[in-house]
Every structure is written in structure tokens, then in C-alpha cells.
Structure 1
Amino acid sequence: MSHSLDITALPSLDLSLLDGSPQQRRKFLDELRHAARDVGFFYLTGHGIDGNLLRQVQDHARQFFALPEDEKAAVAMINSPHFRGYNRAASELTRGQPDLREQFDLGAERPALQLDQDSPGWARLQGPNQWPAALPQLKPLLLDWQQAMTRMALRLLRAFAQALALPEGAFDALYGDKPNEHIKLIRYPGRARGESNQGVGAHKDSGFLSFLLQDQQAGLQVEIEEGRWIDASPRENSLVVNIGELLELATNGYLRATVHRVQSPPAGSERLSIAFFLGARLDAVVPLYPLPAELLREARGPASDPDNPLFRDVGWNYLKGRLRSHPDVARRFYADALVPKALSA
């Protein structure tokens, strides 16, 4: 086991080794378990996502952010009870402070559910995306990428199960045919003199697995131990992967959800990131998985923020995060008794 003081860079794992010899497969699973426990972040190569598809996604993300402000405003998140759409820089909050990034949020393209007075508040989260009329090619491209990422992410999640000596399909029931797939296109403008450097404030991701496609501008930092940050510098053909709080909760803290942040780029430059979050279906309840005794002894217990406690109910946990991050959407679509319930411990 690595000590945090020895870690100066994120580990790198090659997913293609799962298809290698039994020795290569075992080596990958061992490295996966250690990376996820000791760091909670790693680079992933051999992921099988076509490089041309990744470049197209980045190119179209740039085209979206280059649209006139009125065209981006036409798909603003404030129009969506499903928290889908565009936000200007400083619209989203992390720990109560504005993040200096503009972004476009997308989820699985599904129809809104028919609701009644007994429907849980999180049922409002399912629904269609908003798409910019000026970029008709964006929808098929991002939905293709979403499907490719989901297939790869579920494969990696099954590898996690094996690395923890659980049945390969141990996590499958949490996903079913409606995993909570979330995409963020993110642009960080260069900060002006005297402006906050909070591209994204320090936080943990709330779901199961997160994947980040970076451009060449640095900015992502990982808190290896309290007060010590290392850079997750961009690498060609690599995705940055990190553990979410629900996976930490499900393994009693054996797997680590790690605090991270993004520093705004310097004036005259910008940073483009594309994030994909794999979450369980909204009606799932996350169990505590029975780890082998030798792993259970190394589990540290989930390190939940007392000011932002976790729920094992996936839908409520996800809704709580959305309400906190986007108070304008919360006020417009959730200004009822559901808000205090979602925000309470």
C-alpha cells in the first residue's frame, strides 16, 4: 500500500489488460484496487473510446461555447426542471461559492415521467435534454459518446467488483436499464486581475464513477492528503477517473472519494473539459457490500461531509446535490416541501 507522502502523480492504468493474459488481468485488478483506495484518482488508457470520437466531442464543445450568448441562453438550465442546459460562468455554486466556468449539462435522453402527488421529488429529474438549434449535429454526437462511455464505465465497474473479490455483476442491479448518465461540457475562461481562481471549488463527486476528458490546459488538482495538492496534468489519449461518494459509501470507505478542485487558467487562456458521470438508477438504494475480511480491515469508513451528508437513496442524494448547486432552478421548480427534505440530514 502506498503512503500518501510517496504519491506525487496520479497512477496510470491500462484497461485493455482486462483482455490480456490471466497474469495481466490480475495485475490490472490489483493496481485498480490500490489506485482507488490509496488515491481515488487515476489516468485510464486502453479505454477503447475511439480517438476520433473524443476529438469530435471536444471540437463540438468548442463550437457550442462559441455560439452567441442569446443562442446559449435559449437552452439555459433555468428552463429545465431536469437540471439540463446551459449556465453562464459563476452560475453554479460549490460549497456556496460561485465557480468561474460556463457549462452545458446533459443527461440520458428519456421522456419526463408522469407524476402525481405521491411521486418522489427526484422523479422530476428524468426528462429530455435541451439542444441548441444552431448545432443540430451536437445531439447525435453526444448521445453516441454517452452510450460509448456508459459501456466502458460499466465494464470498469465490473472490474472494480472483481478487484474487491465480489461477484463480477455485484453492482449491476444498481444500474438496470436506466443508469444516471450525466455529461458536462465545461469552459473555464482565463481569470482577470484580482478575480477568484475558483474554476471549481474543492469538493467530492457524489455518484459512483467520474471520467474527465481534458484539453492541454492544466488546472485539475487532487488533494492527496489534507492541505497537499497534486496536479492531474493533461495526458494524450487518457481519461482521468475518480471515485464518487456513493461508491465510497458502498464499500465502507475502502474505495476513496477524494477532494479535488480546478484552478482557473491565467488571463489570455482558457480550459476545456468534458466530464462524464456514471450514477446508479434514481430509484436505487445503495447497499453496504460484504468485502472479504482482509479488505474490510483496511476500510476506513466513508468520510461524509457533516454539512452535506450522504443518502443511500440515490435519487434523493442526486437531487440534493442539484438543489445546492443550482439554487435558481431549485427556486423555480422545487419551491415546495421537497426542498427541506432533500437538504436535511
Structure 2
Amino acid sequence: MAASDADAPLSFPVISMEKLETEERGAAMEVIRDACENWGFFELLNHGISHELMDEVERVTKAHYAECREHKFQEFAARTLEAGEKGADVKDVDWESTFFVRHLPASNLADLPDLDDHYRRVMKEFATEIEKLAERLLDILCENLGLEQGYLKKAFAGSGGLPTFGTKVSSYPPCPRPDLVDGLRAHTDAGGVILLFQDDQVSGLQLLKDGRWVDVPPMRHAVVVNVGDQLEVITNGRYKSVMHRVRTRADGNRMSIASFYNPGADAVIFPAKELVAGKEKKEGVKEEEVYPRFVFEDYMDLYVRHKFEAKEPRFQAMKSSAAVVVDAPIATA
């Protein structure tokens, strides 16, 4: 296993979005470029979502766990610890309490049990702000990549013109035996761009960089952004999705609210022609050697079976079936 890297002299990429409106824009864009290409993660400050809203999201989320989910989790925890201490392998278990909210193409917020009306209103408002931030980010990434404005949003749109957009709300309670089980096993994210509002008091999220695990630092009112597999494909490998995990801790209950701005189910995903051409010219890479073309839901069908494995065999499997995928229906100019 790779060694922990908490003390390594690495500067985790942090960007204040306010700088994008100043003479420091060029430097900020360079940090984003480097982060997407070499880290797969970066952290945003001054992103436009009000601190008051974020504080309320945190308050009601932690209260909801304590009132509605903690008892059930403790039952799971007792079974898992008992099995692990008796010698059973519990490495395929995640030490987390989770529920999912779907926003687009159709919301299921009203149908989720145990959420009071106030929590629903707060989550709806937060999702609206996160969606706007995700779309702003996609245009920033288009600029960084030299793609036309709106290219990535169009690439993510399914036949109904909408992405798949949802939120995973997680708690990672304290674990008395962190040596037995991870909070969340190492994986890359299948989708497009992921925006995370994480606990600023309890750490645990790590990414794999240059063979070592690096902490994603908790920062108050920050939004952590990471690159999903689909952005790696669309950018023809210029951006990289990276393995990441959540470590258990003996103290603290870590909150994680991860929103996934993903392609629509029937969106056809393929490398942007401008980036393929650029790579061919620069590196002599032949077109048949680049990332595959596939339908997003087909990739997801494979991903759910192989989430905690390397991404490269998934790409190769999609490449093997790429010949049956029709031309993509998005504009390129």
C-alpha cells in the first residue's frame, strides 16, 4: 500500500474565484490548469455560495444524521466490528451512512423519507447554487482547454437537453478500529465534475498523487472540485480523474455533501476533436489510440460493477464496444 503523505511538502491547489475577476486571472487559471492535469482535485474559495446557506446546510445535515440515521448506523457498525474482530475480511465494507438526492433530470427530493420541509427547502436552494457553480466551472474549463464556451455543458446534455445531477449526503462516524475498515474505499468518480462541501473540522479525504496518499485539507466554506472519468475522456487525457478514498478516524463525525454534475444517461461521450487534433500534432498519437466513444449509461453499467478497481480496464472495455455507438449529437462549432 502507498504510504501516507500528510507531511509531504506539497501545496494543495486552492483558488479564490474572486481572482478570476482581477488582474490575477491568468495566475488563477494556471493553478486550475495544473490542478486538473496533475492533481485531479482543487479547492475553491469565494465561489459565490453564501456562508449562511452553507452553515445551514451543515447544521441541518448533522442534525438529520443524529435524529434519523445514527441509530441504524450503530447497528451496522456493531455487526461490522464484531465480524472484523473475529477475523472476517471487512475491507469491502464502507464505514459511512449515506443517502442520495436526485436533482436532474427529475428531482426525488419530495419523495425521500425522514426529511422535514425545512431540510428539503435548504437542500433545494443549495442544489440550485451548486448547479450554477458547476456550470460556471465548466465554462472556465472550456476556456482553459481552448474549447468554445458551452462545449462541456452541451457534451453533458442528454437527448432531453439536461445533465444528470445529484447529491450524495454522507456521514463518516468515528470508528474504534480504523485499522479494520475504510470510510470509503479507493476509487475514481465515474461522472463529470464533482463539487464537494466537506466538514472543515474532521479530515479523512485523501487522493493518490505520484504513488502517495495526500490529504485534501478541510477548509471553512470551501468547495472541493474533482475531475471525473468523463472529463478525462472528453479532454483526451489532458485532465485526469484520480483515485481517492476516505479514511476512518477514531474521533469526529465527518460530513460530506458531494454533488455530481454528470452527463445525461443517453449522452454520447468522446474526446473533443480539437484536443485529439492537438495531441496528434504535438505527440504523434494516432486517433485509434485515444479514448473511446460510448454512451454514458453504458459506462455506468460497467462502473457499478467495478467501481473500486482501476479505471483503465473500464476505458478499454468501452473502446472494445465503441464501434456500435452512433455519432454524437452535440455541436462542435
TM-score category by the smaller chain?
0.7 to 0.9
After superposition, the Cα gap between the structure-2 partners of 1:199 and 1:295, relative to the gap in structure 1 and judged at 3 Å, is farther
Where do residues 185-200 of structure 1 align in structure 2 (5 Å cutoff)?
185-193=169-177, 196-200=180-184
| Distance in 1 of aligned mates of 2:101 and 2:205 | 22
- The number of equivalent residue pairs is 284
Aligned to 1:314: 296
Aligned to 2:208: 223
Q: Is the 8 A contact 2:167 2:258 kept in 1?
A: yes
Which amino acid in 1 is paired with 2:64? F
TM-score calculated relative to the size of structure 2 = 0.74
Aligned to 2:324: none
Gaps of 5+ in 2: 1-7, 81-89, 308-316, 322-333
1:61 is paired with a residue of what secondary structure? helix
Q: Is the 8 A contact 2:109 2:120 kept in 1?
A: no
Deviation of the 1:56 alpha carbon: 0.9
1:181 matched to 2:165:
yes
Aligned to 1:118: none
Q: Is the 8 A contact 2:91 2:182 kept in 1?
A: no
Q: Is the 8 A contact 2:104 2:162 kept in 1?
A: no
Q: Is the 8 A contact 1:44 1:239 kept in 2?
A: yes
| Distance in 1 of aligned mates of 2:94 and 2:278 | 42
Deviation of the 1:171 alpha carbon: 1.1
Which amino acid in 2 is paired with 1:104? F
Aligned to 1:8: 10
Which amino acid in 2 is paired with 1:220? L
Which amino acid in 2 is paired with 1:285? V
| Distance in 2 of aligned mates of 1:50 and 1:295 | 44
Aligned to 1:286: 269
Greater Cα offset, 133-142 or 41-50? 133-142
After superposition, the Cα gap between the structure-2 partners of 1:298 and 1:244, relative to the gap in structure 1 and judged at 3 Å, is farther
Which amino acid in 2 is paired with 1:99? D
Q: Is the 8 A contact 1:36 1:256 kept in 2?
A: yes
1:210 matched to 2:205:
no
Higher relative helix content: 2
Which amino acid in 1 is paired with 2:297? G
After superposition, the Cα gap between the structure-2 partners of 1:69 and 1:262, relative to the gap in structure 1 and judged at 3 Å, is closer
| Distance in 1 of aligned mates of 2:264 and 2:281 | 26
Identical-residue share of aligned pairs (%): 25
Deviation of the 1:26 alpha carbon: 2.6
Gaps of 5+ in 1: 1-5, 74-87, 112-125, 302-308, 326-340
Deviation of the 1:286 alpha carbon: 1.1
| Distance in 2 of aligned mates of 1:182 and 1:173 | 18
Aligned to 1:101: 96
| Distance in 1 of aligned mates of 2:25 and 2:280 | 19
Q: Deviations over 1:223-252 (max 9, x none)?
A: 1112x1111120122111110011001111
Which amino acid in 1 is paired with 2:215? D
Q: Is the 8 A contact 2:178 2:247 kept in 1?
A: no
Which amino acid in 1 is paired with 2:299? N
| Distance in 2 of aligned mates of 1:136 and 1:299 | 57
Where do residues 1-345 of structure 1 align in structure 2 (5 Å cutoff)?
8-21=10-23, 24-68=24-68, 97-108=92-103, 111=106, 130-133=111-114, 135-176=116-157, 177-193=161-177, 196-215=180-199, 216-226=201-211, 228-266=212-250, 268-289=251-272, 290-291=274-275, 293=278, 297=282, 312-322=294-304
Q: Deviations over 1:68-101 (max 9, x none)?
A: 459989xxxxxxxxxxxxxx6799xxx9811110
